[in-house]
Amino acid sequence: MKCHEVDYEIFGDDMQIVEIELDPAEVVIAEAGAMNYMEQGIDFETRMGDGSKPVGGILDSLLHVGKRVLTGESIFMTHFTNTGTGKKRVAFAAPYPGKIIALDMAALGEELVCQKDAFLCAAFGTSIDITFQKRLGAGFFGGEGFILQRLRGDGKAFVHIGGTVIKKELRGETLRVDTGCLAAFTTGIDYDIERAGNLKSMVFGGEGLFLATLKGTGTVYLQSLPFSRLANRVIQAASFGRSKGEGSVLGGLGDMFGDR
């Protein structure tokens, strides 16, 4: 496997943009709708697949479409190619507050498992596939669900992780994590779930019913702001958004008596 060699620069703090520099004929692939801007000389084409393998028959195409549907992503990916004569740049933006992580896939063993909406873009030749949890318990109760994304390649890949990112190197020890805060991990890490303490802790602890357990040797990426947690807070705030006094008791009373 030999991916295209791309250069990059990341801009911003909480809502980041990664700018990819392409030499002539180099290609970067990205999720549909992730592009922010591109220079003249960059052509793009929407394709069904990441282009890491030769195009197969109709059965292969249908299988790939089915996998993309399971991840909740678009069935198409966009391929950006430098058709000009000099270096050209194309940029991709993060979909919500967090960090864009540049991954050297060769240094990570050429494989990474991540949450299904983490992938942003990668050098051409990178394979984006899905993987299933081997244990039904981890699939049903783990924050990442039964389906995860698997990235394979030896080039640069870029993933987006919510909030602040913590990188942990495990050397045989076990790490327990809130299920929603697990963002990605390399091969060599065994992922499972366990009950969060006793019954009282599970019901009243506020940490959820289960914790993710990670053990083995490899790299783990954790996120402080899972998208599900952000979405829940936005929904809760929206239900009280009509109050004139944000966060105040009087604002809520105003709504009760029709004070709009």
Is residue 246 a part of any domain in this protein? no
Please give the Cα distance from 170 to 203 (Å, whole number): 30
pLDDT classification of 250: cutoffs 50, 70, 90: very low
What is residue 260's predicted lDDT score, i.e. its pLDDT? 45
Contact 190, 216 (CB under 8 A): yes
At a CB cut-off of 8 Å and minimum separation 6, what does 201 contact? 207
DSSP string, 190-254: EEEEEE-SSHHHHHHSSS-SEEEEEEEEEEEEEESS-HHHHHHHHHHHHHTTT-SSTT-HHHHHH
CA 153, 157, 163 angle in degrees (round to 5)? 140
Contact 123, 3 (CB under 8 A): yes
Is residue 245 a part of any domain in this protein? no
Neighbours of 65 (CB within 10 A): 14
Q: Which domain holds residue 224?
A: 7-240
Residue at 217: amino acid letter: T
What is residue 232's predicted lDDT score, i.e. its pLDDT? 72
How would you label 17-48 residue by residue, b for 16+ Cβ within 10 Å and e otherwise? ebbbbbeeebbbbbbeebbeebbebbeeeeeb
Please give the Cα distance from 85 to 94 (Å, whole number): 29
Is residue 247 a part of any domain in this protein? no
Please give the Cα distance from 174 to 212 (Å, whole number): 10
Contact 175, 142 (CB under 8 A): no
Please give the Cα distance from 183 to 143 (Å, whole number): 10
Burial category of 194 from C-beta neighbours within 10 Å (exposed 0-12, middle 13-18, buried 19 and up) = middle
Least confident of 44-58, 166-180, 190-204: 190-204
What is residue 159's predicted lDDT score, i.e. its pLDDT? 95
Collapsed DSSP state (helix, strand, coil) of residue 61: helix
Question: For residue range 153-196, what is the model confidence (pLDDT) as tens digits?
Answer: 999 999 999 989 999 999 999 999 887 888 999 989 988 877 76
Give the bridge partners for 92, in sequence order: 18, 35
| Mean per-residue pLDDT over the chain, rounded | 79
Is residue 1 a part of any domain in this protein? no
Contact 237, 229 (CB under 8 A): no
What is residue 248's predicted lDDT score, i.e. its pLDDT? 46
CATH number at residue 124: 3.60.160.10
Is residue 118 a part of any domain in this protein? yes
pLDDT classification of 203: cutoffs 50, 70, 90: low
Is residue 35 a part of any domain in this protein? yes
Is residue 249 a part of any domain in this protein? no
Would you say the pTM of this structure is higher than 0.85?
no
What is residue 249's predicted lDDT score, i.e. its pLDDT? 45
Identify which has the larger pLDDT, 85 or 228.
85
Instruction: Give the count of domains, the chain.
Output: 1
Is residue 209 a part of any domain in this protein? yes
Identify which has the larger pLDDT, 254 or 66.
66
